Each structure stands twice: as C-alpha cells, then as structure tokens.
Amino acid sequence: MPFFWHYIDFCGCETYITIVYVKINKKGFFVMLDINFIKANVDLVKKAVREKGLEGTVSIDKLIETHTRYIDALKRVETHRALKNKLSEDISKANASEREKLITEATSVKEELSKYEKELDEIKFAFDKMMLWVPNVPSDDVPIGKDENDDKVVRTVGSIRDFGFRPKDHIDLGAALDVIDLERGAKIAGFRGYFLKGEAAELEQALLKYACGVMKEAGFTFMSVPWIVKPEFFIGTGYFPWGEDDHYRLEEDKALIGTAEVSLTSYYAGEILEEADLPVKLYGLSPCFRKEIGAYGKDTKGIFRLHQFYKVEQMVLTTANEEITREWHEKMLGYSEKVLEGLNLPYRVVLKCTGEIGAGQVKKYDLETWFPSQERYRETHSDSYFRDFQSRRLNIRYRDSNGDLKYVYTLNNTVAASPRLLAAILENYQNADGSVIVPEVLRPYVGFDKILPK
C-alpha cells in the first residue's frame, strides 16, 4: 500500500493528501531517480525493475507517458498564467469601452487556468507516486539472479571448530545456562518475544560496546538517534513504499525504525554541505523494530529473527564519485570484518545477486557468520551503497570545488546486530560440559570469562 494512501485512512479527506503532497515538494524531498536519466536509459531501468523482481510495482512506459502528460499540462498552465497576467496589465491600461471586453476574456482565462492547474496537480501527484517505486540500477558486477542461490561467495574467513561433540543450538544453551527465556518473552511480548538474563544480557551490552569501540577507533562520530521517525524519512531512505508493511506505525503516522540507517542518513536532509565536509562518517546504536512480514515460517525458534533487537550501524556520505564510493564500500565491510575477527567467529563474505538487493541499493555484501548447530553460515551484516538514490529523495547536496551543487553518495553497513550475533557467540564458544567461554575481547566489559550451567 503506497505511503500516500495512509492519509486517507487516518484523515478520511482527499484535501489533506494535497496538502501533504505540496508540503513534501516544498521541502524538496523525493526527487528519486532523475527522470531525464530514466528517459535516456529506458532499457537499463526496465532491466533493473525486472532483475530486482519489481515488475508488479511500476511500469516505466506508463511513468514516461505520465511525465509527457505532465509536461504538456505544465505548458498549458504556464501559457494561461502568462495570458492572465497580460490581460490584467491590459485591463489596468484600457479605457472604459475596452475594459468590459477584457474583463470577460480574463474571467474565461481564469476559469480555464483553474481547470488546467487542477489537472496539472492530479497528473503530478500520479507521476510522483509512480516515481517512488522506481528502483536504482545495480552495479555491473552484481550477479544476476533471483534468490540467495544465485549469490556469489567472495571469500571465507576463519576455521570452523571441530567440537568433538554434537554442539547445541543457542536455544538449548540459553535454557541450560538460564540466560535466555523465550517462554516468558512470548508471554509478555507475543510471538518472537524474548528475555536475555544475567550473563547473556551483560554479554549483549559488551558486544555492542565493543562494536562501538571499533567504529570510534575508525574515526566515526557516535550518534544517539531518534527511534520514532516521520514517514518522509522512510521514503527518503527507500524503506517506504517497498517495506512499509514491515514497519510498526504509530497513531500520528510516524513509525518505529527498523535500523538506525533511517535516522543517520536523514540527518542532513534538505541541507547543503561543502566538499571539505566529506566524507561524513557516523555510527549509531539503537533498538530496531521489524514486523518480519516476509519471514513467515522462517526462524520461528530462538533469537535469530526478531521483532525487536539492537544494532550498531555505520553510515557514510561521500562525494559523487563511483571510485571513491566503492572504496568506502570495501572499507566499511572491513570494519565489520574486524568485529567478527576480533570475536574469532568464522564467517564468509557474500556478494548478493540482483534479486536479493534492495530497491535502492546499487551493490550489497552480506557477512554470514557460522552457526554450528545449523551447520551453515547465516547473515549477520549487510553492507550497501546507493549512489545518489537516497540523497536525491532526501535532498542532501554538497558544493564542490567549482561551486557546483551535487548530490552526495550514501553508504551504510551493520557493525553488530544482537541478539543474532550473540547467538553465534554462544554456539561457537560452547564446551562439552555446557559452559560457554566469553570471547577475549569482551571480557574487559563483563568481568568474567565463562558462563556456567545453572
């Protein structure tokens, strides 16, 4: 359901939709992809729609046809506005005998102008809604594919431990150690609810602090971000309209963030930076809230796929330079790898295929950490860049050395998400007696080196 229609649900009046539409455009948000780029690269954009599996969400042909209608309507409005102004000027100079005829003509032009302006607003509104659904074009080196089976494993890092016994999953470990309570979590919060207790709760905080330390050392600025955000910033970052159903909405039509990316990337919305200010390097720690609409039947047990969790997120704004952006994409991946390597967890880097990357993403890596109980790697981090897809929607620009205004390029990546990563620690660090060793890098934060069965 497109974002705009929620105003009908909440307000029950079409007038308010028009007010919101005007407000959004006055702010300068939601430019989306450049329509001139779309027209000049029709086949390329159609290919992106097809390869990202979004054929049912937008028709590029209809979009272009609507834009042509918009241009024609705009010309009619501008012509009639000019004629109206000229007639007003002529009336002020006309003698009494000419004035009545000119007033009649001006009244007719004014009525036609009102009709054409209404038509223009309707076409523009339809055009802007369609533009919201146009995806970004993937990078040439992104594998073409439908699902995770078409992803490309770039490299595998770390050794998978030979336990010498059958490793337990984090659910059994958490119960035996009395550090995870799923039963009472479900009682209080419903499906996918959980409690972390004692050492697990401390270990989670240690993990998040450790991840924050890695980003601070890398020169990023720590941000405590809003968790409740206005809808235009979900649209600006590309989470609406595609992922709207997966977010928790509040009565005043704000929503809970599913990642600090929304708040961090929107920080400079509507502003102009100087080239010397770039790159902007921010990281934030926040709770994240997701309905997991598309995860029906997946990971229903344990603390892997949840409605509420914590995440440390990194975000970079850089110049409109593909080479520099790709360098930052690799750097940000490296920071997350440093976290996993510090925790001594086996992982692999996966380049996601076209069907697995988001509508706004140009390219995405996933870091997948080894889960012994499942005998497979599971996604724990996502590293993405967008070129100017988000910055156009949020109107974040910078003035380059020549004085020209350009849209920044945006990137983001997970640093650590818990309790998913906590589950990986419990499973990889378990012993035959049911105890769990605390990773060495986390011990200074918790003051103990082992969790014992209760």
Burial 123-156 (b: 16+ CB within 10 A, else e): bbbebbbbbbbbbbbbbeebbebeeeeebeeeee
- Please determine, for residue 295, whether its predicted confidence score (pLDDT) is greater than 80: no
The pLDDT, as a whole number, for residue 31 is 55
Q: What is the mean pLDDT of residues 249-273?
A: 95
Quick: pLDDT tens for 139-167.
999 999 999 999 999 999 999 999 999 99
Q: What is the mean pLDDT of residues 265-291?
A: 97
Say which residues have a Cβ less than 8 Å from residue 315's Cβ, sequence separation at least 6. Answer: 260, 261, 264, 265, 280, 281, 282, 283, 284, 410, 411, 412
Q: Closest by alpha carbon to 106, among 90, 123, 120, 128?
A: 90
The pLDDT, as a whole number, for residue 11 is 28
Quick: pLDDT tens for 372-415.
999 999 999 999 999 999 999 999 999 999 999 999 999 999 99
Quick: pLDDT tens for 68-84.
999 999 999 999 999 99
The pLDDT, as a whole number, for residue 302 is 84
Q: Which of 5-19, 102-116, 306-320 has the lowest mean pLDDT?
A: 5-19
Angstrom distance (rounded) from CA 7 to CA 13: 8
Indicate the pTM of the whole model.
0.88
Label residue 395 left, alpha or beta by phi (over 0 means left) and psi (-120 to 50 means alpha): left
Percentage of residues in the chain having pLDDT higher than 70:
92
- Please determine, for residue 26, whether its predicted confidence score (pLDDT) is greater than 70: no
Look up residue 157 and give its DSSP letter.
Answer: E
Evaluate the omega torsion of the peptide bond into residue 241 and state whether it is cis, within 30 degrees of 0: yes
Q: What is the mean pLDDT of residues 127-136?
A: 95
Dihedral sign (CA 234, 236, 75, 110): positive
Q: Are 339 and 211 in contact (CB under 8 A)?
A: yes
Higher local confidence (pLDDT), 27 or 22: 27
Q: What is the mean pLDDT of residues 344-354?
A: 98
Sort 31 into a burial class: Cβ within 10 Å, 0-12 / 13-18 / 19+: middle
Catalytic residues: 290, 305, 379, 382, 420
Place of tokens 């027209």: 39
- Please determine, for residue 444, whether its predicted confidence score (pLDDT) is greater than 50: yes
- Please determine, for residue 5, whether its predicted confidence score (pLDDT) is greater than 70: no
- Please determine, for residue 330, whether its predicted confidence score (pLDDT) is greater than 90: yes
Label residue 256 left, alpha or beta by phi (over 0 means left) and psi (-120 to 50 means alpha): beta
Angstrom distance (rounded) from CA 59 to CA 313: 34
Mean pLDDT of the chain: 91
Inter-axis angle of helices 170-177 and 420-428, to 10 degrees?
A: 80
Percentage of residues in the chain having pLDDT higher than 90:
84
Angstrom distance (rounded) from CA 60 to CA 375: 43
Q: Closest by alpha carbon to 271, among 405, 404, 384?
A: 405
Q: Are 263 and 236 in contact (CB under 8 A)?
A: no
Taken in order of first residue, the domains within the chain and their CATH numbers are 31-131 (1.10.287.40), 148-451 (3.30.930.10)
Q: Closest by alpha carbon to 131, among 315, 2, 246?
A: 2
